[in-house]
């Protein structure tokens, strides 16, 4: 016979029971773990290395704070979407290695989101470079 659980309504995830600064502290740790896990993905690593160059360059290229924010933000958005795509792929892979139409659709949509974020970034940077060097 199993002993009765003294707290039948206890959350399965201990993070849910935390509050205040303790919750923020642990959530920050989980976020840093996510960034470390992302670093192990080749695409994210390439985008992070590009960001090391492009984000500081955005402060030189942008002529106003709005332009700087658009340039730097578009680079960061690519990294965010890449992390989300990797999360989708990881969750799908956890379910099982067999091929399934819904798994393929989820992975394809994640990939499409990355593509759209890259096109947005390229468009913003192209417009800024054109304005800076060819439009006066």
Radius of gyration of the chain (CA): 21
Closest CA to 68 of 50, 82, 54: 54
- What one-character DSSP code corresponds to residue 15? G
3 state SS of 62: coil
Is residue 67 among the annotated active site residues?
A: no
Binding-site residue ranges for substrate = 23, 36-39, 43-47, 82, 111
**Residue 108 CA from chain centroid, whole number:** 17
Of the residues 61, 71, 82, 121, only one is catalytic, namely: 82
List Cα–Cα distances, 129 to 14, 122, 123, 134, in angstroms.
49, 10, 10, 8
Q: Residues with catalytic annotation?
A: 82
């Amino acid at each position: 016979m199993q002993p009765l659980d003294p707290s039948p309504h206890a959350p399965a995830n201990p993070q849910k029971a935390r509050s205040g600064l303790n919750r923020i502290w642990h959530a920050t740790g989980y976020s840093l773990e996510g960034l470390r896990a992302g670093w192990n993905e080749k695409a994210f690593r390439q985008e992070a290395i590009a960001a090391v160059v492009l984000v500081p360059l955005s402060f030189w290229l942008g002529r106003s704070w709005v332009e700087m924010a658009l340039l730097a933000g578009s680079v960061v958005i690519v990294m965010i979407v890449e992390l989300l795509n990797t999360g989708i792929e990881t969750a799908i892979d956890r379910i099982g290695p067999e091929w399934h139409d819904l798994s393929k659709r989820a992975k394809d949509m994640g990939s499409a989101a990355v593509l759209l974020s890259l096109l947005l970034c390229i468009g913003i940077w192209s417009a800024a470079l054109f304005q800076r060097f060819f439009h006066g």
